[in-house]
Chains A and B, each alone.
Chain A
Amino acid sequence: MTAMDLLEVIGSIRSSYILEAKHASVEKAKENLSFCNVHCMDELLPSRSEKEPRYSQVDQSKKQKKNGLKLLILSAAAGLLLAVLAGRGTIAGWADYFETFLNRTEKPYQYTQPTGTTQAYTETTAANAETTATQAEPNDLEAARENLISVLSGERTFFDRGNEISVTIEKYCADGEEVPGVNSVKITKYTSVDLDQDEVPEIILWILVNQYSDYGTLVLRFQDNQVEGYTFWYRQLFELKQDSTFSTSGDEAGRVKSLTFDEEGWHYVDIDIADQQQDLKEGVVWFDYPGEDYSDLFE
């Protein structure tokens, strides 16, 4: 391997690292670069809502805040201050998330997919810009199983893509409970399905917030030698079937979807099927969480 090979491989690192690198340097770049139209660089930096679909929903909800919410905001601010003082600055994402959830009845559901499409990735040779999921090797499956069991057992952390921190499931729930208005966050059940058909199943955990059982799910996925967690709103993923398809709500392109994942996150794939046919499919079997033993995971 030559240095040039390494330099070329570095060219395909995660897009988030590429964008992150310039976050604090845009202003300086503007000063230094007079020979090109750097005015575009402000726009280069994606807003949170472009990166994460759920933040789009937060933006929507913020526009529609009612007076009654002011109290909640004050409480949230106090809670956040306390949390920061206690060294727990990670609940902001949860706060946004839950705030939107609490206000979900005030507005119609509007899901904005950041990519604006539902196409699965195809590899682009010329650009060498993105990578596709590879078929699992037996070792991948075993490594995934071991890691996912460790996370389910609370022995190991997973990387929460929404809040961009590594947490255990217990900490994930505890962070949620820091948000004013949230009394309890529990994982009540789990199942495993190969959502993206890469032969390595994902774990789907059902989240119960206060008394709400339609909050959403936490999808745990083994990826790049670590377990990553993606939080889905209930309406982004429900009625999960054994063939890994599921229902969504609010997308004009259709109700039934499946998922793909890449380094940027998840993407919907449209499934062309009549609603009645989808309803006839076998649903997944859910198991109580926490379970006594996860040794039969993936079997």
Chain B
Amino acid sequence: MEDNQIIDLYFARSEQAIKETDIKYGGYCYNIAYHILTNREDAEESVNDTYMAAWRNIPPHYPSVFAAFLGKITRNISLDRWKNRKAQKRGGGEVPIALEELKTCIPSGESPEQTLERRELLQSINTFLGNLSETERRIFVCRYWYLDSSQEIAEQFGFSKSKVASMLHRIRGKLNKYLKKEGY
């Protein structure tokens, strides 16, 4: 099914939308979640939460690139889940859970200054990525968006693992220099 047909199902509030999303993008979302959480159950929960978030956000939102829209949600949810799990391991108890619950009471979760700063940082990173060569950009995104391991990237691109590590090292250096220049 085409993406716009699936999105139309969301707009029609048809539960078939979730099924079709799962058929088409379940594996993709699971892959993203699993790379972050390395746990099958957690990854599956993140994927289910992704569908719920999509259900809540469509409508009114109409994603222009549905795959990326879902991927971003999965990534955000999985990172939150990862942080929560880490916090529980460290201190445990109800504090992280209570904090998580209280988050819903705060309208934005961050101050307007922080929001602006993040938006500016995002713009800088987009510009930085735009100035990289295509291969460098793809490797950076595989590592820091999809959280693929260096070994996986090496296999995907047909490079040696050390070459990938060295490329990532160089890109990080460039990013560091760029962000410093931008005042971060």
Spell out A's residues near B (CB within 8 Å).
1, 4-25, 28-29, 32-33, 35-41, 43-44, 46, 50, 114-117, 119, 121-122, 124-131, 134, 224-226, 262-265, 267
> Nearest Cβ distance between residue B109 and chain A, in whole angstroms?
8
Indicate which residue in A10, A40, A50, A124 contacts B144 across the interface (CB closer than 8 Å): A10
> Nearest Cβ distance between residue A15 and chain B, in whole angstroms?
3
A265: chain B residues at CB < 8 Å are 64
Type the 1/0 row for B124-146, where 1 means its CB is closer than 8 Å to any CB of A.
Answer: 01110110001001100110111
Which of B34, B56, B62, B64 is packed against the most chain A CB atoms within 10 Å?
B64
A134 x B24 contact (CB < 8 A): no
A225 x B155 contact (CB < 8 A): no
B interface, over-half SS: helix
Range for the number of chain B residues in contact with chain A: 35 or more
B8: chain A residues at CB < 8 Å are 116
Give the total number of A-B pairs whose CB atoms are below 8 A apart.
Answer: 178
A263: chain B residues at CB < 8 Å are 126
> Nearest Cβ distance between residue A91 and chain B, in whole angstroms?
19
B157 x A9 contact (CB < 8 A): no
B126 x A13 contact (CB < 8 A): yes
A12 x B141 contact (CB < 8 A): no
B67: chain A residues at CB < 8 Å are 15, 18-19, 44, 46
A40 x B25 contact (CB < 8 A): yes
B145 x A21 contact (CB < 8 A): yes
Indicate which residue in B108, B125, B138 contacts A10 across the interface (CB closer than 8 Å): B125
A127 and B83 in contact (CB under 8 A), knowing A116-B4, A117-B62? Answer: no
A46 x B69 contact (CB < 8 A): no
A32 and B155 in contact (CB under 8 A), knowing A116-B8, A129-B69? Answer: yes
Name the CB-closest residue of B to A38.
B27
A43: chain B residues at CB < 8 Å are 24
Q: Which candidate, B72-80, B91-99, B162-170, is the interface stretch facing chain A?
A: B72-80
B123 x A35 contact (CB < 8 A): no
B12: chain A residues at CB < 8 Å are none
A124 x B64 contact (CB < 8 A): no
The CA-CA distance from A24 to B138 in the complex, in Å, is 9
Type the 1/0 row for B76-91, where 1 means its CB is closer than 8 Å to any CB of A.
Answer: 1001000100000000
